[in-house]
Amino acid sequence: MEIVLITGMSGSGKSVALNALEDAGFYCVDNLPPELLLPFIELEQQHRALRVAIAMDVRSATSLHLVPELLRTLREQGIAVKSLYLESTTGTLVRRYSETRRKHPLSQSEPDGSAKDFRRALVDAIELERDLLTGLRENAHLIDTSIIRPSQLQGYVKSVISSPAEQLTLVFESFAFKRGVPGDADYVFDVRMLPNPHYDPDLKALTGRDEPVARFLETQPDVGRMHRHIASFLNEWLPLMAADHRSYVTVAIGCTGGQHRSVYLVEQLAAEFGDKWVTLKRHRELDALDKVLQSS
């Protein structure tokens, strides 16, 4: 049996993630109380269910502290368990609530479910929720949904569930600093000081995945030096992270526009480390553009 737990901030895209898992053949359940997790899984085993996705969030705040131990119990039973935590910035969540005009789960009640005569401000409710979910965030794979499209999130979720649960998965992600640093990054490398193909008219419209750009960057000594330094750092510390039972490590590499230098280095590093670790790659800005072009 394979279980995926979806949790995270209200408004961060849990419904989108569940839909992606349902499309991938998972039986999905939203807002399952933690107290019912083990009985529910036992029942699904009797029904010979193979893939189950469960969403839990702050609506079960009084018993969320039980979840880490429950997941350990399931793993000890030989069940493959993956935990995904969807994160967004406070500003993004405020905007989404304003657009949908929905109320935050904690805006008119305490975490224990008791109603109060006052209304909690939206920002205060979001920060309280973030504090309550800290225990779930620590041991999950983070996906920052602040500036990615729903279709990108669906793709990221499907890529994560395709990787083996028992091994450390290394995620390389390119991004543009002008659009913000990914909130799900464990390590961030700034490569904006490297020679920029953007200023070459023949390369400006291309990306780091294109051969002419790759040839240009391969001839730049500083690019090769940056590659070696990042690889050396990861080779030094990834074995210790794996020994510490880390499930995911996300390495974000950023340049100005997220089009050339960071993309090239992500491609090169993913190819290099793919022989040693389960490796995924994301290009935040290019993935968003690809989705727009596909839908147009």
Q: Summarize pLDDT for 113-160 with one digit per residue, the tens.
A: 665 544 578 899 999 999 989 888 887 899 999 999 999 999 999 888
Q: What is the structure's pLDDT at 246?
A: 83
Mean pLDDT of the chain: 90
Selected residue with higher pLDDT from 115 and 205: 205
Highest mean pLDDT among 28-37, 158-167, 208-217: 208-217
Contacts of 132 (CB under 8 A, 6+ apart): 58, 61, 64, 111
Q: What is the structure's pLDDT at 17?
A: 94
DSSP 102: P
Contacts of 168 (CB under 8 A, 6+ apart): 238, 241, 242, 246, 247, 248, 249, 277, 278
Amino acid occupying residue 7: T
CA 150 to chain CA centroid, Å, is 13
Sheet of strand 278-283: strand arrangement: 187-190, 248-255, 169-176, 278-283
Region 153-176: what's the mean pLDDT?
87
Is the pLDDT assigned to residue 228 strictly greater than 60?
A: yes
Q: What is the structure's pLDDT at 60?
A: 81
Region 221-226: what's the mean pLDDT?
97
Amino acid occupying residue 50: L
- Would you place residue 255 in the very low, low, confident or very high pLDDT band (cuts 50, 70, 90)? very high
Residue with tokens 């990914």: 182
What length does the chain have?
Answer: 296
Is the pLDDT assigned to residue 177 strictly greater than 90?
A: yes
- Would you place residue 163 in the very low, low, confident or very high pLDDT band (cuts 50, 70, 90)? confident
User: Would you say 51 and 27 are in contact if contact means Cβ atoms under 8 Å apart?
Assistant: yes
Region 5-10: what's the mean pLDDT?
94
* DSSP SS3 for 14: helix
Q: What is the structure's pLDDT at 112?
A: 62
Amino acid occupying residue 46: Q
Region 18-46: what's the mean pLDDT?
92
Q: What is the structure's pLDDT at 111?
A: 63
Q: What is the structure's pLDDT at 4?
A: 94
DSSP 120: -
Cα gap 170→278, rounded to integer Å: 6
pTM above 0.95, yes or no: no
Cα gap 69→73, rounded to integer Å: 6
Token pair in block for residue 64: 């969320």
Q: What kind and span of H or E run contains 84?
A: strand 80-87
User: Would you say 157 and 219 are in contact if contact means Cβ atoms under 8 Å apart?
Assistant: no
Q: What is the structure's pLDDT at 29?
A: 93
End-to-end alpha carbon distance in the chain: 39
Region 213-217: what's the mean pLDDT?
97
Is the pLDDT assigned to residue 101 strictly greater than 70?
A: yes
Parallel, antiparallel, or unpaired for β 248-255 and 169-176?
Answer: parallel
Is the pLDDT assigned to residue 295 strictly greater than 60?
A: no
